[in-house]
Structure 1
Amino acid sequence: MKKKPTMSWLAAEKPGPPSDLQKRFRRPILPCLFCQGKHYSVRCNLGFQDRKDILLKQGRCPRCLKKDHQAQDCTVTCATCLSDHHRLICKRFLHPNNPNLAPIIAEFLLWLSSLYVLEFFFSEMP
């Protein structure tokens, strides 16, 4: 029986030049905005103040991160806390108040999804 191709199968099939499909779905990793490292800016290990200082030195807007753009003319808000800065320099995004909350939320979502499954199962019974 022939396997259906999947993205993981395509990625692991063979070493060598990437296929057209792999090239199409691969996102390029741009240099980090803050340290110029080969990782996404969101994964940078620099802290809040270092990030803010670098943006200031680069002449970037703290709201949208664009160069030569004035913050008072920008309407972008933080996706985490809705304040007047970008998420990449948000204290709440970089240092969540309660890191123990994630497992609780995951457990709740698992419980909630099991309710939906049970409801679907019992609604199909005669």
Structure 2
Amino acid sequence: MPEYTSSDGEGVQIDLISGERMSKLRTMEKIRLILDGVHKGNIVILEEGLSPDEESKLIEVTMSEISPDEFTGIEIETYPRPSGGNGGFLGRLMGRDSDGGNKLTVIGPANRIETLHKDENLISALVTRK
């Protein structure tokens, strides 16, 4: 994935990954794509989320990679999008209509992202610098 480094070293990179890209990957390729981004301190947003089995595998692999000094794990929040309509902001951003039922998923480093509030319409998170 392309990476940008700000000149002042501040800021957070957010990777928005389309459902189309994820649909072409096998489970372990999806997990590596996500965890490689999170290991770099990025916030990863999946347009269509993961299946329950893929999410379980992501948690399993994450647990095996946790190291107190290097990688503290992930914070993951998912919510379903409403059926119909244009899929909201991300749907417009990605240039396509929502087919409903897909899940938007936000994943980030556990030491940099904290979920403040979550309901069926909103995920509110605080993202801190390293």
**Which band: TM-score by shorter chain?**
under 0.3
So what's the TM-score if we normalise by structure 1? Answer: 0.22
Using CA pairs under 8 Å that are at least 6 residues apart, name the structure with larger relative contact order, 1 or 2: 2
Work out which of the two has the higher radius of gyration on C-alpha atoms and give 1 or 2. Answer: 1
Higher helix share: 1
TM-score (norm: length of structure 2)? 0.22
